[in-house]
Amino acid sequence: MNNAIAAATLAALLLFATNAGAQAYPSKPIRLVTGAVGGANDLVARVLAQGLTRSLGQPLVVDNRASGNIPAQIVANAPPDGYTLLVQASTFWIGSLIQRTPYDPIRDFAPISFLVKAPNVLVVHPSVPAKTVRELIELAKARPGELNYASGPLASSPHIAGELFKSMAGVNIVRIAYNGTGPALNALLGAHVQLSFPAASAAMPHAVAGRLRALAVTSLEPSRLAAGVPTLAESGLPGFESSSTQGAFAPARTPPAVVARLNQEIVRFLNLPDVQAKLLSAGMETAPGTPEALTSLVKSEMARIGKLVREAGLAAQP
What is the separation, in whole angstroms, between the first and last Cα of the chain? 58
Handedness of CA 274, 182, 90, 68 (dihedral sign): negative
12: pLDDT strictly greater than 80: no
- 57 φ, ψ to 5°? 75, 10
Amino acid at residue number 1: M
The distance from CA 243 to its chain's CA centroid, rounded to whole angstroms, is 7
pLDDT digits (tens, 9 = 90+) for 261-280: 999 999 999 999 999 999 99
**The predicted structure's pLDDT at residue 139:** 98
Helices (H), 111-255: 133-142, 157-169, 181-189, 200-208
Q: pLDDT tier at 250 (50, 70, 90 boundaries)?
A: very high
How high is the mean pLDDT of the chain?
92
**The predicted structure's pLDDT at residue 13:** 46
Q: Which of residues 240 and 314 earns the better pLDDT score?
A: 240
Enter the pTM of the model. 0.88
Q: How many helices (H) and strands (E) does the chain have?
A: 11, 11
Average pLDDT estimate for 86-91: 94
Domain boundary assignment for the chain: 2-118+244-312, 121-226
The distance from CA 295 to its chain's CA centroid, rounded to whole angstroms, is 13
Q: pLDDT tier at 219 (50, 70, 90 boundaries)?
A: very high
- 118 φ, ψ to 5°? -140, 110
Q: pLDDT tier at 22 (50, 70, 90 boundaries)?
A: low
Rounded to an integer, what distance in angstroms lies between the CA atom of residue 279 and that of residue 5?
A: 53
* Angle, helices 291-312/157-169, rounded to nearest 10 degrees: 60
74: pLDDT strictly greater than 70: yes
239: pLDDT strictly greater than 80: yes
Q: Count other Cβ atoms within 10 Å, centred on residue 197.
A: 32
Asked if the domains 2-118+244-312 and 121-226 are classified in one and the same CATH topology, the answer is yes
Amino acid at residue number 7: A
pLDDT digits (tens, 9 = 90+) for 144-163: 999 999 998 888 899 999 99
**The predicted structure's pLDDT at residue 17:** 47
Helix (H) or strand (E) holding 33: strand 30-34
221: pLDDT strictly greater than 70: yes
**The predicted structure's pLDDT at residue 3:** 54
pLDDT digits (tens, 9 = 90+) for 179-188: 888 999 999 9
Q: pLDDT tier at 251 (50, 70, 90 boundaries)?
A: very high
Span 2-118+244-312: which CATH code? 3.40.190.150
Rounded to an integer, what distance in angstroms lies between the CA atom of residue 270 and that of residue 250?
A: 18
Q: What share of the chain is helix, strand, coil (3-state, %, to 5)?
A: 45, 20, 35
Rounded to an integer, what distance in angstroms lies between the CA atom of residue 273 and that of residue 271?
A: 6
Strand order through the sheet with 121-124: 174-177, 148-151, 195-196, 121-124, 213-217
- 87 φ, ψ to 5°? -120, 110
User: DSSP 3-state assignment of 257?
Assistant: helix
Length in residues, the chain: 318
18: pLDDT strictly greater than 80: no
**The predicted structure's pLDDT at residue 317:** 45
| Least confident span in 1-5, 51-55, 138-142, 171-175 | 1-5
User: DSSP 3-state assignment of 36?
Assistant: coil
CATH class of 121-226: alpha beta
Task: For 147-169, give one letter per residue: b (16+ CB within 10 A) or e.
Answer: bbbbbbbbbbbbbbbbbbbbebb
